[in-house]
Chains A and B, each alone.
Chain A
Amino acid sequence: MHISEGVLSGPVLLSGAALAAAGTAIGLKKLDYDQIAKAGMLSGAFFVASLIHVPLGPMSVHLIMNGLVGLLLGWAAFPAILVALALQAVFFQFGGITALGVNTTLMALPAVFCYFAFSPLLFHRRPLVVLAAAFGCGFLSVFLSGVIASMALMFTEENFWSVAAMVVAAHVPIMIIEGIVTALCVVFLKKVQPSMLPAYSRKDGL
């Protein structure tokens, strides 16, 4: 999912960087003291998740985990993902420094979207709804990242639908796996450390 250096055109890189900067600014503003440790942990998890490969036939893809990061952090996912991507670029040469803005946007924007879409459902009365929301969060975040990546590539490849189909199709297994992993994490956190989940304070209201 990381877009490499030298693939995208200047305007795409710049607009990606601008979006990432705006998101990071909002994220840092919304990040309060109690959330810092959580953001750091999730940033670390995101940093390492890319090393976990899932082999499937001749192709294999790696975990992304932006859904879980977004679900637990909200806007703070932007700085967390930016830091992790910068370190991945420096240490593993995944992506690249010039493509950092675009990569941050394409992974963090779906994460924030999933936070607003799914976090209200995490303390729903029916466990099945909770499971579905967590699965959907992991699934949809990867899907939307694929769509944004295709949009970024559209300006160089000039064929949105074929690129989008290829990127999304290659990531279908990852979407399913991330959905399952996110669901497991949510169920686990609800039992062990429910205060880590968003909307915990709203629990009584529901």
Chain B
Amino acid sequence: MKKRFLRVQFLIVVWAVVLGVSFVLHDNASAHRVNIFAWVEGDTVFVECKYPDGTKVHEGVIRVRDSGGKELLNGKTNTKGEFSFKVPKQDDLTVVLEAGMGHRADWPLSKQDLAPAGEAPQAEPTAPPQPAPKTEATTPAAKESAPGAASLPPADIDQAIEKALDKKLAPVVRMLAEMHEQKVRLTDVLGGIGYIIGLVGIAAYFKRKP
């Protein structure tokens, strides 16, 4: 009778551990670190915020600052840990995430990252050398293929290419964002436990009875 009671208790403990682990895997949990990743698509900046265990930061405060430290805009992440805003200013921006209890992370966005296709301030210095090689390249091609393509100004072509690249690269950028964040991995947990077992061995060696 007593043995059966113990077995029930043992099952309760196992159940509690499983429950705890499932909390780690599923729930909206916080930790000691937050990860932030921001990227530009066209004239919009997308921000993604996650905790190291992969759960999203919801209701995290996002502040966007310019190079002088002035706050340009702020907002809160949605339930998916995402936030987006239109580029407020062509400047070196910093996106800061504040997730409460001292959790803070930031992500720098340089001027070059923000430059939208065609209308970037950097486009002007690079524009003069561009037309010369462009026209050389397009004129022989234009004779063989559709003449309509040649009539497009180079700036428009640039813009179209930029747009297409943005679209095509979006999944890659998102994948990089996922790789960039540091999750707590099972290998780390097992490695740590291994270290502890090793240290127990060392301690047992030095404390052994002669």
Contact = CB atoms under 8 A, between A and B. Distances in A.
Given A43-B196, A55-B27, A58-B59, A36 B13 contact: no
Interface stretch (B89-97, B168-176, B202-210): B202-210
Interface in B157-191: 182, 184, 188-189, 191
Interface string A34-51: 001101100110011001
B195 interface: yes
A4 B192 contact: no
A35 B47 CA distance: 50
B52 interface: yes
Interface in B1-45: 6, 9, 12-13, 16, 20-21, 23-24, 27-33
A36 B9 CA distance: 26
B53 A53 contact: yes
Contacts of B53: 51, 53
B203 A58 contact: no
Contact of B188 (A7, A55, A91, A170): A91
Given A36-B200, A47-B192, A188-B13, A170 B101 contact: yes
A180 B200 CA distance: 29
A51 B30 contact: no
Nearest to A54: B23
A83 to B, nearest CB: 6
Contacts of B30: 53, 59-61
A7 B184 contact: no
Interface residues of A, number: 42
Interface stretch (A16-24, A92-100, A120-128): A92-100
Contact of A53 (B12, B13, B27, B203): B27
A39 B204 CA distance: 11
Nearest to B21: A52
Given A53-B23, A53-B53, A61-B30, A92 B196 contact: no
A94 B31 contact: yes
Most chain A beta-carbon neighbours within 10 Å: one of B53, B101, B196, B204 = B196
A78 to B, nearest CB: 13
Contacts of A40: 196-197, 199-200, 203
A191 interface: yes
B29 A87 contact: no
Contacts of B191: 91
Contacts of B33: 92-94
A44 B193 contact: yes
B58 interface: yes
Contacts of A181: 16
Given A47-B192, A60-B30, A93-B33, 4 more contacts: A92-B188, A94-B32, A94-B33, A184-B12
Interface of B: 6, 9, 12-13, 16, 20-21, 23-24, 27-33, 52-53, 58-59, 100-102, 182, 184, 188-189, 191-193, 195-197, 199-200, 203-204, 207-209
Interface of A: 2, 4, 7, 31-33, 36-37, 39-40, 43-44, 47-48, 51-55, 58-63, 83-84, 87-88, 91-95, 166, 170, 181, 184, 187-188, 191-192
27 contacts: A2-B32, A7-B102, A31-B207, A33-B209, A36-B200, A37-B204, A39-B203, A40-B199, A40-B203, A44-B193, A47-B193, A51-B24, A53-B27, A58-B59, A59-B101, A60-B28, A87-B192, A88-B192, A91-B189, A92-B184, A92-B188, A94-B31, A94-B33, A184-B16, A187-B9, A191-B6, A191-B9
